[in-house]
Amino acid sequence: MLRGALALILVAAGPAAAADPAAYAAAVAEARARWESSPHGPLLERILPPTFEPKQLPAPRSRGAELTVRYCVQCHNLPNPAMHHAAKWPGIVERMVLRMEGRGNLGPLMTEMMAGVKAPSAEEAKVLVAYLRRHAQKPLDPKKYPEVNRPSGEPFRLACNQCHVLPDPKRHTAKEWPAVVERMQENMEWMNRVVGSRPIDGEPQLRIEDINAFLVKYARKR
Ligand code: HEC
Ligand code: HEC
C-alpha cells in the first residue's frame, strides 16, 4: 500500500524532475547550431533577437520553462514570455505547433530543416500556453494613461507597438526603463523595424528621450 503510494508520487514528480535549468543553455545552443546552418539560417536568425537567455526564463524549474526550451528554440532564438500579452499567446502557439507538425505556411520552404523538428503533444501545448500566459506582458490601459493618445505620448506609442502591445509603464521603475528601451532599440535593429531617433517615412521623429520621458513619468515607484 505504502509502496504503491510512493511509486505514484514518483511518477507524478517525473516530468518536473526532468527540468534541469543547468542544461538549458546547452540545449538552446545545440538547437541553434542546427537551424543556423540550414539554408534559411539568415531568415530564421532575424525572427527573434538573441537578447533573451535561458537563465532569464521565469519559473525555470517549471514544466512550462522546460517545454519552451525543448520546443521553442528549434527554429529561432528563445522567445520571452513577457514579449506578448496573455491574449496573444494561444494563437501564436497554435501557429507554431502547425509548423512543427510540418503544416505551417513556411512548411515547404523549410522541409530540409523540418526533418529533425519535434512537435509537442496536445497536452504539452496546453502547458506551454499556460506558462507563456502566466508570465506574459501586461498591456497598457489607455484609460489609466490618457496621455498615450496625446502628442506627447506619440513617440512611445509609435515606437513601442510595432512588435507587441504597449507595455504597462508600471512594469519597471524609472531607473530600469532606459536600459529596457535601449535593449528594444537593439531588438528593432535586429528585427528590422523602425528605430527610435530615425524618422518613419520622413516623420514623425521618434526621439528616445521622449520615449523614456513618458515611461519614467508613469514608472513604478520602487
Ligand atoms: C518549426 C519552426 C518553429 C518552431 C519550432 C517555433 N517557431 Fe516561432 N516562428 C517560426 C517562424 C517561421 C516565425 C516567423 C513567422 C511568424 O511570425 O509566424 C516565428 C515567429 C515567432 C514569433 C515572432 C512573431 C510574433 O508573433 O511575435 C514568436 C513570438 C514565436 N515564433 C514564438 C514561438 C514559440 C513560443 C514557440 C514554441 C511553442 C515557437 N515559436 C516555435 C517558426 C517556429
Ligand atoms: C522590433 C520589435 C520590438 C519593438 C519595436 C519593441 N519591442 Fe519590446 N520586446 C521585443 C522582444 C523581441 C521582446 C522579448 C525579448 C526581450 O525582452 O528583449 C520584448 C519584450 C519587451 C518587454 C518585456 C521584457 C522586460 O524586460 O520587461 C517590455 C517591457 C518591452 N518589450 C518594452 C518595449 C518598449 C518600451 C518599446 C518601445 C521603446 C518596445 N518594447 C519596442 C521586441 C520589440
Contact 48 CB / ligand 2 (< 6 Å) = yes
pLDDT at 7 over 50: no
For the chain, what is the domain count?
Answer: 2
pLDDT at 116 over 90: no
Domain that holds residue 123: 13-134
Among 57, 84, 180, say which to mutate for ligand 2: greatest number of ligand atoms within 8 Å of CB: 180
**To the nearest whole percent, how much of the chain has pLDDT over 90?**
65
- Grid cell 511509486 is found at 7
Residue that is last in its domain, among 134, 158, 190? 134
Q: What is the C-alpha to C-alpha distance for residues 171 and 183, in angstroms, rounded to an integer?
A: 15
Residue that is last in its domain, among 134, 162, 196? 134
The total of other beta-carbon atoms located within 10 Å of residue 43's CB is 15
The mean pLDDT value for 49-72 works out to: 95
Nearest CA to ligand 1 atom 1: 100
Q: Are residues 18 and 92 in the same domain?
A: yes
Q: Are residues 121 and 18 in the same domain?
A: yes
What confidence score (pLDDT) does residue 85 get? 98
Contact 77 CB / ligand 2 (< 6 Å) = no
Residue that is last in its domain, among 106, 134, 162? 134
Do 198 and 206 contact (CB within 8 A), yes or no? yes
Q: Are residues 103 and 23 in the same domain?
A: yes
Contact 180 CB / ligand 2 (< 6 Å) = yes
What confidence score (pLDDT) does residue 43 get? 86
